[in-house]
């Protein structure tokens, strides 16, 4: 009778399978500096940051051999952990935690998927310390528990998960290509929105009404309810349309708040970094919004699709006067005097028709991606729940 391999089928603690690693880069012999990202794993630091931001003193950096994992202890809760498969050896910032895996019992890729799954993230949240910013030390990571199937089963499951990951990524890349297509069409029809001669431009407030949002008094709980969504900057994402708000106002709150009608373009105008200022999204329904946002309501003869893409392609121009030494703000006055081209309605309509056709493809692709992600999450729950 063949005995079952040790640990197989058991609920195990990671302490039996992971070991602290990440020796120092003595003599700075390795010069390949990498960063760990949420979505792309290990990437060269110069590629990720578009410039050299790491220290010249590489001796303090940690070595990561092929097959090891590394994570940012303050960001593992949002998926900042990766398996090093890029090179035989790279170095990462000394702030990272580096560890190896006992591959006789646990496939590193399988462990990675567990740590990024909802069951894994729930345990990470429970084991993390810190009142202001959570932090997961290696000793705490070692206490996480997971169900452990045989290596053969792990490898088969990895094939399934990897295939779904590639399909999800492909959908995402297709959606991104649609944005590129629309941007190219805009430039083809109208040129660079900020490069045209000044005598062909008009102030933004001459063809759009600009309203700054507010926060109805928190001292009046009756202002908050379920009458109308209350948009914040995290609802302005990379997608053209606002995401659903987590909080809403009552009818009384709406009277005390600021309302943007459907067809408005909302812009993030106060943020901690220039990267977030100037981001825009279309309100496809009436919404309230807070004081970090300006609503840009197109006048007659200005189509929402044109206004959105004009502003989206002008982010650098919009942020050009912001002083980040102070709090990053693009206020209503500065925004109002920005100069833009206003093409005739017929050209705007031609562009809007093109955008709407592309948006139909986007809706289908996003729905496909959502279904694939739901399937992936369901399988991860099945594989990793304890």
**Pair 90, 161 in one domain:** no
**Pair 138, 241 in one domain:** no
Structural domain ending residue among the three candidates 85, 117, 149 = 149
The residue-averaged pLDDT of 186-212 equals 85
**Pair 332, 348 in one domain:** no
Percentage above 90 pLDDT, the chain = 79
Estimate the crossing angle of helix 108-116 against helix 345-384, to 10 degrees: 120
Range of the domain at 272: 201-341
Query: What pLDDT is attached to residue 2?
Result: 47
Residue 298 lies in a domain: yes
CA 92 to CA 64: how far, in whole Å?
Answer: 7
CATH number, domain of 119, equals 3.90.220.20
**In the chain, which residue ranges form alpha helices assigned H by DSSP?**
45-49, 108-116, 118-127, 138-141, 151-190, 251-256, 304-312, 315-318, 332-336, 345-384
DSSP string, 23-42: -B-GGG----BEEEETTTEE
CA 141 to CA 170: how far, in whole Å?
Answer: 32
Beta bridge partners, 258, equal none
CA 369 to CA 57: how far, in whole Å?
Answer: 43
Count of domains for the chain:
3
Residue 225 lies in a domain: yes
Per the document, the length of the chain is: 386
Write the pLDDT tens digit of every residue in 4-13. 556 667 899 9
Q: Which of 123-137, 174-188, 234-248 has the lowest mean pLDDT?
A: 123-137
Residue 3 lies in a domain: no
**Pair 42, 120 in one domain:** yes
**Pair 271, 327 in one domain:** yes
- Whether 161 and 114 have beta carbons less than 8 Å apart is answered as no
Write the pLDDT tens digit of every residue in 337-365. 999 989 999 999 999 999 999 999 999 99
**Pair 159, 232 in one domain:** no
**Pair 349, 280 in one domain:** no
Model confidence at 321, pLDDT cuts 50, 70, 90, reads: confident
**Pair 381, 314 in one domain:** no
Statement: residue 136 has pLDDT above 80: yes
**Pair 260, 220 in one domain:** yes
Write the pLDDT tens digit of every residue in 90-99. 999 999 999 9
**Pair 211, 182 in one domain:** no
**Pair 288, 217 in one domain:** yes
Query: What pLDDT is attached to residue 328?
Result: 72
**Pair 29, 116 in one domain:** yes
The residue-averaged pLDDT of 40-61 equals 74
DSSP string, 274-301: TTTTT-EEE-SS-EEE-TTEEEEEEPTT
């Amino acid at each position: 009778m063949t005995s079952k391999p040790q640990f197989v089928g058991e609920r195990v603690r990671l302490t039996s399978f992971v070991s602290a690693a990440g020796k120092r880069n003595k003599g700075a012999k390795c010069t390949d500096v990498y960063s760990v990202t949420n979505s792309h794993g290990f990437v060269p630091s110069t590629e990720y940051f578009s410039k050299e931001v790491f220290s010249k003193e590489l001796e303090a950096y940690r070595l990561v051999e092929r097959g090891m994992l590394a994570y940012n202890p303050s960001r593992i809760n949002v998926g900042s952990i990766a398996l090093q498969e890029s090179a035989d050896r790279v170095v990462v910032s000394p702030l990272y935690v580096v560890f190896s895996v006992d591959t006789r019992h646990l496939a590193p890729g399988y462990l990675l998927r567990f740590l990024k799954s909802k069951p894994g993230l729930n345990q990470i949240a429970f084991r993390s310390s810190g009142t202001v910013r959570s932090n997961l030390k290696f000793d705490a990571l070692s206490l996480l528990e997971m169900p452990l199937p045989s290596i053969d089963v792990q490898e088969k499951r990895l094939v399934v998960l990897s295939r779904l990951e590639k399909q999800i990524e492909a959908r995402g890349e297709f959606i991104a290509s649609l944005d590129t297509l629309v941007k190219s069409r805009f430039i083809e029809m109208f040129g660079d929105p900020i490069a045209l001669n000044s005598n062909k431009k008009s102030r933004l407030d001459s063809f759009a009404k600009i309203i700054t949002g507010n926060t109805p008094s928190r001292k009046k709980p009756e202002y908050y309810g379920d009458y109308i969504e209350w948009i914040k900057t995290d609802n302005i994402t990379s997608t053209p349309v606002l995401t659903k708000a987590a909080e809403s106002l009552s009818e009384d709150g709406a009277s005390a708040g600021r309302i943007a009608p459907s067809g408005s373009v909302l812009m993030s105008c106060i943020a901690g970094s220039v990267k977030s200022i100037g981001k825009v999204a279309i309100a496809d329904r009436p919404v309230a919004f807070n004081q970090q946002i300006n609503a840009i309501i197109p006048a007659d003869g200005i189509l929402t699709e044109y206004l959105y893409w004009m502003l989206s392609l002008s982010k650098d121009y919009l942020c050009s006067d912001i002083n980040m030494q102070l709090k990053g703000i693009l206020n209503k006055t500065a925004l109002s005097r920005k100069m833009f081209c206003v093409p005739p309605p017929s050209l705007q309509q031609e562009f809007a028709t093109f955008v709407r056709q592309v948006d139909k493809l986007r809706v289908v692709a996003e729905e496909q991606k959502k279904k694939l992600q739901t399937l992936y999450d369901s399988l991860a729950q099945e594989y990793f729940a304890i």
